Chain A
């Protein structure tokens, strides 16, 4: 070591910082893989692309600035008692490093607004609509039999209603490859309807008609859960999601649709 001011402290600080950053870097790489979401909707894929774009920019900024920081810590540690040059600033440099972030955030903003426009679609009247009702502490999913999207029978009456409770997670079934509208309502406090693999959530607000539309492009079984603190058993306000082919969905409807007289009984319950 040259005659530096505090070699041991310095070595320690640098070692510590570099190890931590190395760990962070490797974890972030692992994260980039493990953490790259795997969306199951057309809308979610666009959000996922925006996520990756943002992650790349964030990564560049992170490594550039953190790199400069570590370089400065190593390179400009005290070597002698000479007073360093007293620079107070530089207008040109200030303009440059104000300008670069402005350009970056404008790029990010523009892309994010394009994606926002793409994913916030209104439902067509003929699309399947599921009435989702959040309550403390579970969900109710209601399918009106005359509003089932493809293969719809406008004359059908009644509805399929699935009601869960904190001990019994309700199951939501949707068809793949066609727009599905979720109409959200709350019986009590604010909840949030959240399916990780949609990369999307929307609040379920009492007194407010919140809706969104997705088109699933993958079948399978997934999870959803309330994402807005809603009280005691908030953590148990979970549900299952099954995305199925259209014919399987039709079969599920046929199996679960109440016959008119049955429905009267169900209503009396």
Chain B
């Protein structure tokens, strides 16, 4: 590839550490995001193992009730706010500019700010463990009035979540401007890679929903510290108000947590099936549909409050299953009559399909309002969210890591270790979370620190705990694969997978300026077109 002038002469290079601290390069920021979020994935995972150890047997006192409430609250908070949501910002940061053929994000300094809000927020949230009364213990949902009276840890939690909200709001604006304004010549909106589309819809959701959460958190902070009564019925407030505002954010947030994962799957499946994504436009519209409908279903978290219009929210919740189903069928249509190979990214993607399907189906039970009366706030719901957010999002995170690792770090992760990772994680995941359906049906409420022997929930809980530890073990081959890869020299070609999108046009890893040149873009698969004689197949 032709070399071009390096933008900055060597003599001006900053020391390595300073360079990472001060970088505004989207690729370095993306890597920082990935390291930070995977770190919090590990922390959240350890907290999950503490939860599962406590629940392994009946009447257990491994951790007390107080510690337990802190641990599960911080498990969810870390996984949702410090792992899943920012991990997509990490992938988006690295991949989106490359996929649209841009030099960087639209606002590199704002991009750096977005990232640098995350670590202090994480430290702030976890510093709750050091203060009197411990970390936040009111659940990641922080229902009031319970959260009004909780200890100082909750104030730290509020501030941390507000900081993370600012991070993702300005990040969202940055992504939108980048994708609207900086696409390569020839790349119309409907030739944008599907991962970019899912990041676009995610950014819209973040921009519309996250400020609402910030307002709720500000009100809660006022209630707690300045004598406010927004959520206190005794002072003229309303206890249900918190839930309405919180879920108005947090239901769209579920799609913020899963749509980019769907985007990654939609990149991986075509590459390893040697076919284009089936129904590209339908997929884009289904993504928009999910985003739009996502704002009309929040109160399905509140059927048992008796304070919401149940038929309306039940109907809208059922309806959101339709675009989700369309996506599932499009993925099936993509691999159908393909020429499938089973490298680790594909294994993770197929794992996503088979598990996210369950997460979609078991969600419809709660859309049927009377059935939700039985299942709400039981372990059935815990099973559901984990089939969506682990079976869906986490499998997609690993699909993305194995898929883009050669691009980002110039090396490939070992296939055998990848298969082992996938196999153990797949089995461990089902062992951990499938029994929770039965526990929920059998009446085990979520968020209880212990249960009586006579409740009869011990066997299934023990199984679930074994599964959780198997998930923990499954991370070892992954970590080993990463270490082995880093010990080897960078040896990956531009396009090791025979992929479709522009990030594979440039070197692995790409130069600071990303591209020396760009191919012509006539479809959503410019590299495929280039390999097969240039003509678009539309």
Given contacts A13-B342, A13-B350, A89-B330, 13 further A-B contacts (CB under 8 A): A27-B434, A76-B273, A84-B338, A88-B276, A88-B280, A108-B364, A115-B368, A115-B370, A189-B146, A201-B374, A201-B377, A205-B239, A229-B146
Interface size class of A (residues with CB under 8 A): 35 or more
Indicate if B332 sits at the interface (CB-CB under 8 A): yes
User: CB-CB < 8 A to A98: which residues of B?
Assistant: 322, 325-326
- 8 Å CB interface, A188-225 against B: 188-190, 192, 194, 196-197, 199-203, 205-208, 210, 223, 225
Instruction: Judge whether B373 and A201 touch: CB under 8 Å.
Output: yes
Instruction: Judge whether B306 and A65 touch: CB under 8 Å.
Output: no
- 8 Å CB interface, A22-38 against B: 23-24, 27, 31, 34-35, 37
Bound-state Cα–Cα, A76 to B146, Å: 54
- The verdict on A85 contacting B239 (CB below 8 Å), with A58-B361, A113-B311, A205-B307 known, is no
User: CB-CB < 8 A to A88: which residues of B?
Assistant: 276, 278-280, 537-538
User: CB-CB < 8 A to A23: which residues of B?
Assistant: 430
Instruction: Judge whether B373 and A17 touch: CB under 8 Å.
Output: no
Bound-state Cα–Cα, A21 to B307, Å: 40
> Which of A90, A226, A231 lies in contact with B445, CB distance below 8 A?
A226
- The verdict on A72 contacting B304 (CB below 8 Å), with A47-B374, A206-B233, A229-B447 known, is no
Bound-state Cα–Cα, A79 to B326, Å: 28
Instruction: Judge whether B340 and A109 touch: CB under 8 Å.
Output: no
Bound-state Cα–Cα, A83 to B273, Å: 10
Instruction: Judge whether A229 and B278 touch: CB under 8 Å.
Output: no
Closest CB in chain A relative to B184 CB, distance in Å: 21
- 8 Å CB interface, B270-296 against A: 273-276, 278-282
Bound-state Cα–Cα, A108 to B281, Å: 28
- B contacts with A, residue count (CB < 8 A): 95
Interface stretch (choices B194-202, B244-252, B419-427): B419-427
Bound-state Cα–Cα, A97 to B538, Å: 22
Closest CB in chain A relative to B340 CB, distance in Å: 5
Task: Offer 25 A-B interface pairs, CB within 8 angstroms, sorted by A.
Answer: A13-B347, A13-B350, A27-B434, A47-B373, A50-B370, A69-B357, A72-B340, A76-B338, A76-B339, A83-B532, A84-B273, A84-B338, A88-B279, A88-B538, A98-B322, A113-B369, A119-B370, A202-B304, A205-B239, A205-B306, A206-B234, A207-B239, A227-B445, A229-B69, A229-B143
Bound-state Cα–Cα, A82 to B143, Å: 57
Indicate if B138 sits at the interface (CB-CB under 8 A): yes
User: CB-CB < 8 A to A54: which residues of B?
Assistant: 364-365, 368, 371
> Which of A34, A86, A231 lies in contact with B275, CB distance below 8 A?
A86
Instruction: Judge whether B377 and A227 touch: CB under 8 Å.
Output: yes
- The verdict on A199 contacting B374 (CB below 8 Å), with A37-B441, A223-B455 known, is yes
Instruction: Judge whether A113 and B430 touch: CB under 8 Å.
Output: no
Indicate if B314 sits at the interface (CB-CB under 8 A): yes
